Structure 1
Amino acid sequence: MDLKLKGKRALVTGSTAGLGEAIACLLASEGATVIVHGRDQGRATAVAEAIIAAGGAADIAPGDLATGAGADTVAAKARQGGAIDILVNHAGDYHHLRWTTASASSWIKTYQANVLSAVRMIKRFVPAMRERGWGRVIQIGAGSPVRPGPIYPDSCAAVAARHNVAVSLALDLKNTGVTSNIVAPGAILVPGSKELLEEVAPQYGRGDARDEIEVGCARDMVPNDVGRLGRPEEVAAAVAYLSSVHADYVTGATIWVDGGPARSAF
């Protein structure tokens, strides 16, 4: 299927590794010019160079979105090659905190990094999308808005706010040609999660084989209906669809890429 992304420019925040990198690479393979963002310029450059080496088009816009000044810097760099048609808000900062360790200041920091970072990008790019009569805004969410747990309370609340932002924005964008949607991954096998699974495997009596560790995790820690963890490319595929012209009739929606736990009949 031709997603008709050739000629489109996409900014993927937080795309120097893991899930964000997979999204950037897939959009580039579909013909979009991708602007790679992250706080580390060297890592952003490496991802952009890999995309170019694979035949795609990419540039970088490094900076810290947790501040207004940082967001201004990122926006200015992203616009240097032209207008942004697709905004994927993936950047975020999460900490392994509990109610007993998450201070009020850490809640504020988490909200800044995970909610206001996205709002800042929306404020800087969506007005021009409205004027052109076409655009895509995609929030990368999670399952925590409908399944919050006793741990990571600040992160769960921040992700829930990201989902809320996307739906509110969709309503505001009525009849503009610009859509706002959410892709909500479940447990995805990225380098960081691989290391964590290997670290905790002995606590669950699992062996050393990675396949065995993954299946055990999908059974005991993050149960789902597929029996494994997701892959970054599977999340990226959902983002690519929502970025395309084939999703003109989809807005205010959440696509769950989680193996089934968020299932709902309505």
Structure 2
Amino acid sequence: MDFNIETRRALVTGSTAGIGYATARTLLKEGATVILTSRTEERANDARDRLLKETDAAPEKVEIAFGDLATSKGAEAVVSQLRANGLPDILINNVGFFEVKPIDELEDEDWTDMFEINVMSGVRLTKALFPHMAEQGWGRVVFVASEQSLKPNPEMMHYAMTKTAQVSVARSFAELGKDHGVTVNSVLVAPTWSEGVEVFLERVAADAGKTVPEMREAYFTEGDGTSSIIARFADVKEIAAQIAFLSSDQASAITGAAQRVDGGIVRSLF
């Protein structure tokens, strides 16, 4: 399938590892120019070097923009760099983090910190880049949400709250894209095996006196993952493939949608 994005520029936030990096790699292989982001220039450049080495892409096809997207100042810095080099046609709002913490340990700042990076980063960037997309009559925005948007775990309710908020924000922006050729969607991703998840399970496994493979299996046999149909963690490449599709010309009829890429973990027809 030809995604027809060879002339497009794609900004992928949180793209130095995990789903973000895999998405940038997929979009690059489909011909887009990708812009990697990180809080620091050094880490963004490291990811750029790694991506160029893995794909043999032309150096000019991979750019960087850096700044702390959890703050308005950092978002402004990133947008300023984008304006200097060329605004993107595709925006993947992926940056964020997850945390397992019971309600009696959650302080006000836990909620606000999570909201700033997981939700407001996407709000700020979409607001800043939307006019450019609307003016040119083509644009794609994808918010990387979660199955937690639909089935919140009470042990991480502050995280689930942000993932539900992303879906609402995406739908509202989609309405604004009407008659402008701009689509906005969210993807509800499955528990996905990434560097961050591996580090988390290493810590949990050590506390429980178990191995990481044992913890991985237990999640699907006795944990929250028991309803998963695929009964395994998704690979970042599997998630990236759906994000890339929604970023393409081929997905022009899909907007305002919250598409599940969740391995069937949510027991719902719709």
Using the size of structure 1 for normalisation, the TM-score is: 0.92
Aligned residues: 264
Which amino acid in structure 2 is aligned with residue 220 of structure 1? Answer: E
Structure 1 Cα separation of the partners of residues 114 and 159 of structure 2: 6
Of 125, 128, 144, the match for 1:124: 128
Q: What residue number does 1:103 align with?
A: 107
Q: For residues 23-38 of structure 1, what are the structure 2 equivalents within 5 Å?
A: 23-38=23-38
Q: Deviations over 1:24-52 (max 9, x none)?
A: 11111111111000113222111112222
Unaligned runs of 5+ in 2: none
Identity of aligned pairs, percent?
36
Q: What residue number does 2:90 align with?
A: 86
Q: What residue number does 1:55 align with?
A: 56
Secondary structure (helix, strand or coil) at the match of 1:141 reads: strand
Which amino acid in structure 1 is aligned with residue 217 of structure 2? Answer: V
Q: What residue number does 1:216 align with?
A: 218
Which amino acid in structure 2 is aligned with residue 43 of structure 1? Answer: R
Secondary structure (helix, strand or coil) at the match of 2:146 reads: coil
Which amino acid in structure 1 is aligned with residue 56 of structure 2? Answer: G
Q: In angstroms, what is the RMSD of aligned CA positions?
A: 1.9
Which amino acid in structure 2 is aligned with residue 216 of structure 1? Answer: A
Shift of the alpha carbon at 1:184?
A: 1.4
Q: For residues 182-261 of structure 1, what are the structure 2 equivalents within 5 Å?
A: 182-201=186-205, 208=211, 210=213, 213-221=215-223, 222-223=225-226, 224-261=228-265
Kept in 2, the 8 Å contact 1:28–1:51? The answer is no
Secondary structure (helix, strand or coil) at the match of 2:20 reads: helix
Structure 1 Cα separation of the partners of residues 256 and 203 of structure 2: 38
Q: What residue number does 2:7 align with?
A: 7
Taking a change above 3 Å as real, the CA distance of residues 202 and 107 of structure 1, as seen in their structure-2 partners, is closer
Of 175, 178, 181, the match for 2:182: 178
Kept in 2, the 8 Å contact 1:197–1:217? The answer is no
Shift of the alpha carbon at 1:263?
A: 4.3
Structure 1 Cα separation of the partners of residues 158 and 215 of structure 2: 28
**Which structure shows the higher helix fraction?**
2
Unaligned runs of 5+ in 1: none
Structure 1 Cα separation of the partners of residues 12 and 156 of structure 2: 25
